[in-house]
Amino acid sequence: MSKLFRAVILGPPGSGKGTISERVASIFGLQHLSSGDFLRQNITANTEAGILAKAYIEKGALVPDHVMTRLMLPRLEEMTRHSWLLDGFPRTLAQAEALNSACDLDVVISLNIPLETLKERLRHRWIHPASGRVYNMCFNPPRVQGVDDITGEPLIQHEDDKPEALVARLRHYKDVAKPVIDLYRAKGILHMFSDTETDRIWPYVSSLLSAKIPTDHADAQRATTH
Ligand SMILES: Nc1ncnc2c1ncn2[C@@H]1O[C@H](COP(=O)(O)OP(=O)(O)OP(=O)(O)O)[C@@H](O)[C@H]1O
Ligand SMILES: Nc1nc2c(ncn2[C@H]2C[C@H](O)[C@@H](COP(=O)(O)OP(=O)(O)O)O2)c(=O)[nH]1
């Protein structure tokens, strides 16, 4: 079997991690592992980690590192036969160090988006709380205004996507993410992409992954995941 491919995508809230991850998953056949989605599944299933995490998420705080690593590392161990792209984890240096000791990463994609652009995008972000599906009233609006395409249930806006909370949240992200970015830069696996539009970043991400992922491997992944 050809070598498995391990990637991480980093970026502030609203930088397009989810949007780019979905494209990578469908085009390159990597499994998209989102820590936020996984937390929401654990909350719905009332697991021990889900119960612990819920209070933090509701406050808009980060879930403690030991809860996150206890949740995510076993999930990654289950993925021994798949290539994956991790989105939302690691978020802190402690999480990055825990991930380091569990596996070798091939590539880290880091999205560098201007603050004004992030503020504008998040102002228009609406989500379907049960599934975590994300809409943007300008970029990818729902088919019917205010309701989820799949379930028809109402969409809500995160308290912390509202303008008052946004600036503090983005500043906090920057402080926490800097040592993580520095670590990956020092390891020589960091690839930084700067622009205001996902559609302009995407061709560069796509050519990076095309160069790094052997084609036969991408085909094999697609065959097992679809
Ligand atoms: N690696 C992590 N460490 C700590 N908390 C996390 C982590 N990943 C997710 N969370 C918690 O889950 C919540 C939802 O995460 P999710 O990534 O879906 O949305 P978010 O914080 O709005 O970020 P983004 O907009 O970048 O997707 C976060 O606000 C945080 O409380
Ligand atoms: N206007 C505009 N909006 C974009 C672009 N790329 C993504 N978006 C939207 C989709 C979401 O509503 C919001 C944040 O994107 P996301 O993929 O959820 O980001 P992230 O929070 O997972 O990093 O911005 C983009 O290039 N332009």
- All residues at 6 or more sequence positions from 24 whose CB lies less than 8 Å from its CB, including other chains: 7, 9, 30, 32, 85, 205, 209
Which phi and psi angles does 124 have, rounded to 5°?
-100, 10
What would the mean pLDDT of 187-200 be, rounded to a whole number?
97
- Inter-CA distances, 207 with 47, 69, 191, Å: 39, 31, 12
At 50, is the pLDDT very low, low, confident or very high (cuts 50, 70, 90)? very high
> Is 31 annotated in some ligand binding site?
no
Q: Which ligand is nearest to the CA of 136?
A: 2
Element (H, E) at 136: strand 133-136
Q: What is the pLDDT of residues 63-84, one digit of tens each?
A: 999 999 999 999 999 998 899 9
5-14, 29-38, 215-224: the lowest-pLDDT one: 215-224
- All residues at 6 or more sequence positions from 200 whose CB lies less than 8 Å from its CB, including other chains: none
CATH number for the domain formed by residue range(s) 6-215: 3.40.50.300
Which residues make beta-bridge pairs with 33? 86
Q: Is 91 in the pocket of ligand 2 (CB under 6 A)?
A: no
Which phi and psi angles does 125 have, rounded to 5°?
-85, 130
pLDDT at 196 exceeding the cut of 50: yes
28-37, 42-51, 146-155, 156-165: the lowest-pLDDT one: 156-165
What would the mean pLDDT of 125-144 be, rounded to a whole number?
88
At 139, is the pLDDT very low, low, confident or very high (cuts 50, 70, 90)? confident
What would the mean pLDDT of 144-153 be, rounded to a whole number?
95
Q: Is 138 in the pocket of ligand 2 (CB under 6 A)?
A: yes
Q: What ranges do the domains of the chain cover?
A: 6-215
Q: Is 13 in the pocket of ligand 2 (CB under 6 A)?
A: yes
ipTM: 0.95
CA of 57 to the centre of ligand 1 (A): 8
